[in-house]
A and B are shown apart, each in its own frame.
Chain A
Amino acid sequence: MALLELRKLTRRFGDFSAVDNVSLSIESGEFVTLLGPSGCGKTTILRMIAGFDLPDVGQILLDGSNIADIPPEKRPLHTVFQSYALFPHMTVADNVAFPLRMAHFDKAAIAAKVHEALESVYLSDRARAYPHELSGGRKQRVALARSLVNRPRLLLLDEPLAALDAKLREEMQHELIDLQREIGITFIFVTHAQDEALALSHRVAVMNRGRIEQYDEPSKIYGFPRNRFVADFIGNTNLLEVAVTEATPTHLRLAAAGLGDIVSPPREGTRAGQKGWFSVRPEQVRIGGHLDGELENHYSGKVRSFIYVGDVTTYTVELADGTAIEALLSNSAPGRARFFEVGDDVAVGWPHDAGVFLHD
C-alpha cells in the first residue's frame, strides 16, 4: 500500500483551479519531487497535505486512511518552509527541541534526540547560537533537523534551496540525498528547477497549470516526455511540428514542414495522419562538416551561432528552410574548444532511434 495517496484533488480559488484533479501515489521511503513553473499549484498541494488548506474535491490518504479531519498539528508529517521559519527567540537547540517538547518527551530524551539531530546536519557546535547568527545554509540545516527530529512519516519541503546561491545549493542537494537515504523518511520536495528535480528524486511529478503532466523516474521524464510541455520544460530540446505519414511497430515516418522526412522510434497509439511534435535533444544531434550515410535523418545548413560554456559547446544550425536545430558537442578533446565557426557549412543528423513523437 502506498504511504500517501492523493485522489483526484481539486482546489479552487474563485473560478480558478489552482490544483485540478491531481492524483498521485507515493511509496514509503521515496523521494518524490513536484516540479513545475511558478504558480502551477505546488505549494497548494503541500499545504493540503500538511492540513493548512483543504481540498474542494478529492481525498488525501495516509497509510490508506483519509486524513481530512486531522488538524495540521496532529498529522504525522512536517514541512520545511522556504523561509525556514525558525523561531528567532530560541536557540538552535531549542528550535530543534520544539516538536519534542510539544509531544511531551522528557528532558533527557529531548537532549539526546536534539544532540543526535544536530549531529546529523553537522551543527552540534552551533547548538547555542540564535538563528540570526547563522548563514542561510545553516538555517536550512536547522530547519531540516527540527523537522526530522521526531521522525515524521513524511517530510514536505517547499523550495527549500531556492534562497541559496548555486554553490551552496549543490552542496545541500548532496546532503539532502544522503540524509534521506540514511534516515529513510519519505520526502516530497517542491521545486521549479528541473535540474534539481532530476538530480534529487526517485520520481518526479511534472506539473502545469494545476495538473500533473507526467509522473515518472527522472530518466523517463527526460528521455520519454509524454507531451510537448514536459519535453520543453525539462532540459533543452529541438521541437519540430510534424505529421505522421507512416506508423509501423518498428518505426514512425514523420513529415516536418520544409525539412522533409524524419524516421523516429515507434510510439504506441500513433496512427498515420496524426499531427504533433517531434522532440530531439541537442546531445542526440550530431554535427559535422559532412555526415556519412549511417544516419537516417540528416540535413545540411549553416552555423548561425554557438554558445561555449566550457565543458560543451551548443551550436545553432540554420537549415535551408530557416528551421533552427541545436546540436551539442562535447569539448573533451584538449585544445579543441570549438570545431566550427559562424557561417560554416555543416550537416546535422540523428539516428532513427533518437527523439520522440509527441501527440500534444
Chain B
Amino acid sequence: MSPWAGRTMPGCFSMTRRFGRWLVGLPPTLFLLLFFVAPSLIMIVASFRLAGEYGGLAPLVEHGRWQLTLETYRFFFSDFIYVEIFIRSFSVALATTLICVLLAYPLAWLIARSPKKHQDLMVLLAVLPFASNFLIRVYAWMIILGPQAAVARALNSLLAMFGFEPVTLLFSPFAVLVGMVYVHLPFMILPLYTNLARHDPALLDAAQDLGANAWQRFWEVTWPLSLPGIYAGSVLVFIPVLGMFAIPDILGGTGDILIGNVIKEQFLGTRDWPFGATLSLMLTLAVLACAGLAAWLARRGVGRHA
C-alpha cells in the first residue's frame, strides 16, 4: 500500500461526506424555494401591479411602460377598516390560543400522568376528530349552537328566569371562537403532552422532598418545564387561526369576518388580486413577527432546560 494512502483517504472521505450532506440538503432547499420563496416573490410583485379589467392582473408592461403602483398599500393604510380587521383577527387568534392552553393543559397532564399503556389510546382519542371532514365538524357546531338546539334553549330559559333578554349563540363572535378552539385544540394537546410526558418524575419527588407542596411542585417545576410545549402549541394554533376563513364564514355573523375572509374575498369575490396580495403579504409579515417573538421567548425559556 502506498504510504500516502493514509493521507488521501480522509480527504476523499470528507469530500464524499460534504457531497452527501449537500445531497441530503437539496430536496428541502428546493421545496422551500419552489413552494415558499417563489410564491412569496410572486405575491410581492403582484401587490405592486394593477388589477386586470376582469379580475386577475393587468399586463406588467404596456405601451413600453412598467405598470407598477403603490396604490394597494395606500389603500390599505388609508382605510382604518383593514387595520381593525387585523386587530380583530389577532385578538381572535390570541383568545383561541389562550383558551386552547387552558383546556389542553389539564388534559395533556392527565394523559402524561396515566399508565404508559393507556397513553397512546388517549392521544388517539384526542386527535380522533381529525378522522372526519373539517367542514362536517364545523357544520355540526352550526346545529349544536343553533337556536332550536338544546344548548341555546336551556341557556335562554335560564336567562329568562333571571329576567335577561334571550341571546343567539350562532352567527356570533362566540360561535367563531368555539369553532376555532374546537378545531385547533389537538394542535395544543399534542406538543404539550409530548413535553409533559418527558418530565423526569424524580424532579417532583425531589421538590416534595425539599419541602414543596402540591401547588409549589406545579408552579416551580412542572409549569416552567412545560413552557416550550406551550410555545410550540401556541405557534401551531395561533398561525392557522389567523388565516382561517371557513369557520367565520360558517359560524360567524356579518360583522365577524376576519382577515382570512377579506383575502379570500379579494381573490374569489371582488377579484382584486393586487390588493389580495398586499393583504396576504401584510399577514405574512405579521405572522413572521409573531413567530420571531415566540422563538425569542422560547429561547429565553428553553435555553436553560436544554
Residues on A facing B (Cβ under 8 Å): 50, 52, 71-74, 78-79, 81, 83, 85-90, 98-99, 102-103, 130, 132, 146-147, 150
Contact = CB atoms under 8 A, between A and B. Distances in A.
Contacts of B202: 81, 83, 85
In this complex, which of B208, B224, B225 has the most chain A Cβ atoms within 10 angstroms of its Cβ?
B208
15 contacts: A52-B208, A52-B209, A71-B208, A73-B209, A74-B211, A78-B210, A83-B202, A87-B207, A88-B304, A88-B305, A98-B207, A98-B210, A98-B212, A102-B216, A146-B210
Contact of B203 (A74, A85, A99, A146): A85
A54 to B, nearest CB: 15
Contacts of A99: 210-211
B199 to A, nearest CB: 10
Contacts of A86: 206
Contact of B205 (A81, A88, A150): A81
B206 A81 contact: yes
B200 interface: yes
Contacts of A89: 224-225, 301, 304-305
B281 interface: no
Given A73-B212, A88-B305, 9 more contacts: A52-B208, A78-B209, A81-B206, A85-B200, A88-B225, A88-B304, A89-B224, A98-B207, A146-B210
A103 B208 CA distance: 12
Given A81-B205, A85-B203, A89-B224, A102 B210 contact: yes
Contacts of B304: 88-90, 130
A71 B216 CA distance: 15
Nearest to B202: A85
User: Top 6 A-B pairs ranked by shortest CB distance?
Assistant: A102-B211, A85-B206, A99-B210, A85-B202, A88-B305, A89-B224
A48 to B, nearest CB: 13
Contact of B200 (A74, A83, A103): A83
Given A88-B225, A98-B220, A72 B200 contact: no
B306 interface: yes
B213 interface: yes
A73 B208 contact: yes
B203 A87 contact: yes
Contacts of A102: 210-212, 216
A72 B220 contact: no
B210 A147 contact: yes
B221 interface: yes
A87 B205 contact: no
A52 B205 contact: yes
Contacts of B200: 83, 85
Contacts of B205: 52, 72, 79, 81, 85
Contacts of B211: 73-74, 99, 102-103, 150
B169 to A, nearest CB: 42
Interface in B186-228: 200, 202-203, 205-213, 216, 220-221, 224-225
A81 B200 CA distance: 12
A132 B306 contact: yes
Contacts of A103: 211
Contacts of A98: 207, 210, 212, 220
Nearest to B206: A85
Contacts of A150: 211
Nearest to A98: B210
A147 B220 CA distance: 17
Nearest to A90: B304
Nearest to B213: A73
A148 to B, nearest CB: 11
Contacts of A50: 209
